[in-house]
Each structure stands twice: as structure tokens, then as C-alpha cells.
Amino acid sequence: MDYCSTAEKMQNLLGDKWVITDEEIVTGYARESTSESYGLVCPGPEGECILVKPESSEEVAEIMQYACEEGIAVIPKGAGTSLSANAIPEGPGLILSLERMNDIVEIDRDNMMITCQAGVTLGQLLEELAGSDIYFPLHPGDEGAQVGGMAAMNAGGVRAVRHGVMQDQVVGLEAVLPTGEIESFGGSEKKLLKDNSGYNLKDLLIGSEGTLAVITEVTLKLYPEPDFNGTLIVSFASRLEAFEAETEIRKMGIIPMAVEYVEKKQIEMAARDIGKSWPASEGEAYLMIMLAEDSEDDFYRKAADIQKLEDEFEINGISVADTTREEKEILEIRSHILPAIQEEIVDSPDVTVPPANLPDYLQILEEFENEYNTELPVVAHAGDGNLHVLILKEEGGKPAYFGELKKKIYRKAVDLGGTITGEHGVGRLRLDYLPLQISSRQLEIMWGIKQVFDPENILNPGKKIKEFNINKG
């Protein structure tokens, strides 16, 4: 990349104000949550980059067309809340921030949908709908996350048990291809609930981590606000008991909004860090069971059914949060776990296994703890089988056994019918482990898809999929 001529071209396109070359500012955008949390294992940004902030899809298209012609790498950037080195430059290029594209285009109450530009944050979306009778259910943990990034990452997080992940919420989207065309995916109005024409390119872009196209606008499903929400905090003596109880809850036919699993030390650290108090004092392991029901009676009827688990499991107590303030505070504490503990961890593989296999996987983790004389705390979206296994630092640094243990954590998840990443994505940190789960032929197909969309390999290169995985995997 010719730095000076590229900067001049971008200034002509966007204006001087929206083309940033200041090294300190650019470096800040080049990093992401991964860099802060996992500095011992995460690659830092490399190469001299220019930060650009377009205001429209048309400006994004002009940037992409120029970059394609000149062979310049482009890294689409949301809020930088990724956790697998998903949007960190690996060389010179353009960091394309979508933060200025932050308009809510339309709230369509008749179709129960909302259309947002890619830079709209989750917090902005929730605030826009607050106090109405409709809502958006997903909460991946950080309300600073942007809608375009959530789609590009197929965000999951809390509340995926009942409503699924981001892919299940996206009705349609607009995206700019690496060659500069603006395309609409999901029907001409992006509001179709059924569409069997052609291949499903919309879903192909969701979760592609900015490697196939730049998502610029997203249309999402909305839902009627439940009449009564509440959260149960159920305390257990051990995590194995907690996960076995979660299996029984599903077998009872109860479908919560979310079932989160946290452990005493980590959740209390998160609470203290933001000046809050965790409401449960007994037990070592907790299920946060979030219920959304048609009435208060329905809520307490299901709470009573869950309480019957005391006959089978060692439950140390059940706390009830049945006001909006209490629920918000509990979710705030849960969402703050990673920031609170990030100085203590090296990495947190987000493996996922079938929910019924969670107890088996926990026993495997216990074997690893004994083998390596360490602790492997767990934070989990228990209702959908997604575990964040926390690998701790040793004497302030990366343990000598880190690489070996991490590979075993992934391999055992795959052996139980699971995946190496349930929601954080592949990025750079998981790229070398793809062959543990995905066949060489499938990797070849994925690389072929990348080449069709991005023949010059300019869009977020080195993430999600790489040709060397096929040759060497």
C-alpha cells in the first residue's frame, strides 16, 4: 500500500475529518477486546494502517472499489468487542470503522421488525425500544457491540435458549462486496420470513467475520414484550450438580429465556468490581434461570417446579429477582465477569457441546485440572451447551502447558459432538484448530467461497479461513 497516495484518495472521498492517520488513534482502533484480555496469546496489530469512517453504503462501496483495484487490505471494524482476534490488522491496510453509520432506519410494528445501520449499538437499540410493547431479545454481553458486528460474528451470549443466536434474528441485510457492489440479501425489502430462491447467501454472510463482505444495514426480528420477567439464582454445592440440574429443567418442559452458569469466585469479583453485591451467599456454583412468562402466576408456577429439584440435588438456596431493576443489576454483574477477571486469565476457549453432554465434559475438565495441577473455572451459557473455560495465568504468565491443554480442551469438545467455538468465532486465535473439527474437503469449499466473494483476498485477510489450513491441516 502506498500510504500517502491512499490517504490522499481517502481524504478526497470522505473529507479530511474522517480519514485518520494519527498513530495513537489508529493503534487504538487496530486493537480489540482480545488484545486487552489475552495479551499473552493474541497477536498485536501489524503494519501501517489508515483509519477511515464512511457515513453511507455508497462511501463504503467507493472505498472497497479502490481497495480492490489497488490490492489494499480492508478490516471492517465494529465496536472492537471481539474475543478471538477477529478484526486485528495483520499488515498495512485500511481500518474501516462503521461507527458513523448509526441510524435506526425504521421500526416496522406491522411486520415486527427493525432496520438499523451497521453502527447502531445494542445499547442504542434497546434504548429505542425501551418502554414499548416490543423488544429485541439477544444480549451478547457488551451493549457497546454494534449490530453489524453482531451479525458478522453471529453473536449469541445470554438469552439464546429460547430465541436462538443472531442468525435466527436477521431477516435481511445490506452489504458491500469486496469489489464494491452494494447488494441486498434476504429479499428486495429484506423483510421476508420465507424465501427459498437461490442459495442462502444472507446466512453465509452472518458469522463470516468480515471476510466476505462489509455489512452496512441489518433488519432484525422483534418480539412482543413478555408480561412478566424474572430471574432465579439457584445455588449448588458443585458445578456438576448445577449442570445435571439444568438437564432436568429442560426435561421438565421449561424453556427459559436463558440459563447462565457462574462460579462463586468469578461472579463475586465481577460484583465488587462495579460496586454491586451478588445476591446469593451460599453455594459454590450458580444457575441464573431467566424466565419470561405471560403472567406473574406462570412465572411463580415454573419457579415452584424448579424448586422441586431440591429433592434430587444439593441446592443451597434459591433467590428471586422479579423487578426490572433487580434483573438489570444481575445481568450487569454477569456481563462484567470478563473485564473483572481478565488480568488473571490467558485465554477462554468457548467450546460448545450438546447440552446433555455437559456433565461428561465437566468431568473431563476435572481430569485436566488434576493432570496439570491447575484450576479451570467455567462460565457458561448452560442452556445451549456453550462453555467458556478459563485458562489461568501461572506466576503472572502463560503456563508451559498452555498449548497442549488448549488443544485437548478443543479436541475433547469435538469428540463429544461439539465445536471449538460456539460464539466467539474463529478469528486468528482459533484458526489453527479448525482441522480438529472440519474436514479438509469442507475447508477447501470454504476457501473457495472466500475466493468467489473476495478474489484478491483483501477483506480481513488471515481470519476465519486460510488456504494453509487445507494444505497443512
273 Cβ contact partners less than 8 Å away, ≥ 6 residues apart: 336, 339, 340
pLDDT at position 40: 92
227 Cβ contact partners less than 8 Å away, ≥ 6 residues apart: 293, 294, 295, 296
> Within this chain, do residues 324 and 383 fall inside the same structural domain, yes or no?
no
pLDDT at position 153: 97
Question: Residue 18 and residue 317: Cα distance in Å, rounded?
Answer: 55
Residue 468 has pLDDT above 80, yes or no: no
pLDDT in tens, 178-195: 999 999 998 656 788 888
The CATH number of residue 323's host domain is 3.30.70.2190
pLDDT at position 349: 95
Band (220; pLDDT cuts 50, 70, 90)? very high
> Within this chain, do residues 254 and 312 fall inside the same structural domain, yes or no?
yes
> Within this chain, do residues 277 and 259 fall inside the same structural domain, yes or no?
yes
Of 97, 123, 143, the last residue of a domain is 97
The CATH number of residue 80's host domain is 3.30.43.10
pLDDT in tens, 114-165: 999 999 999 999 999 998 999 999 988 789 999 999 999 999 988 888 899 9
pLDDT at position 188: 57
The grid coordinates listed for 256 are 427459559
Looking at residue 292, its amino acid is: A
> Within this chain, do residues 143 and 84 fall inside the same structural domain, yes or no?
no
Higher pLDDT, 190 or 226: 226
How many independent structural domains does the chain possess?
5
Q: Which helix (H) or strand (E) holds 443?
A: helix 440-453
Cβ atoms 51, 14 nearer than 8 A: no
Question: Stretch 68-77: mean pLDDT, rounded?
Answer: 97
The grid coordinates listed for 204 are 453465509
Cell 442462502, residue located: 200
> Within this chain, do residues 192 and 160 fall inside the same structural domain, yes or no?
yes
The reported pTM is 0.93
Residue 184 is part of which domain span?
Answer: 104-224
pLDDT at position 187: 67
Q: Please state, for a pLDDT cut of 90, what percent of the chain lies above it.
A: 81
> Within this chain, do residues 140 and 218 fall inside the same structural domain, yes or no?
yes
Question: Residue 149 and residue 25: Cα distance in Å, rounded?
Answer: 20
Averaged confidence pLDDT in the chain: 93
Cβ atoms 371, 300 nearer than 8 A: no
Cβ atoms 236, 245 nearer than 8 A: yes
> Within this chain, do residues 334 and 362 fall inside the same structural domain, yes or no?
no
> Within this chain, do residues 331 and 405 fall inside the same structural domain, yes or no?
no
Of 304, 322, 339, the last residue of a domain is 339
The grid coordinates listed for 114 are 427493525
Band (323; pLDDT cuts 50, 70, 90)? confident
Of 317, 339, 361, the last residue of a domain is 339
The CATH number of residue 423's host domain is 3.30.70.2740
Question: Residue 407 and residue 349: Cα distance in Å, rounded?
Answer: 10
Residue 473 has pLDDT above 50, yes or no: no
> Within this chain, do residues 212 and 123 fall inside the same structural domain, yes or no?
yes
pLDDT at position 469: 42
> Within this chain, do residues 324 and 411 fall inside the same structural domain, yes or no?
no
> Within this chain, do residues 399 and 468 fall inside the same structural domain, yes or no?
no
Question: Stretch 332-340: mean pLDDT, rounded?
Answer: 91
The CATH number of residue 198's host domain is 3.30.465.10
Cβ atoms 172, 202 nearer than 8 A: yes
pLDDT in tens, 40-49: 999 989 999 9
> Within this chain, do residues 122 and 19 fall inside the same structural domain, yes or no?
no
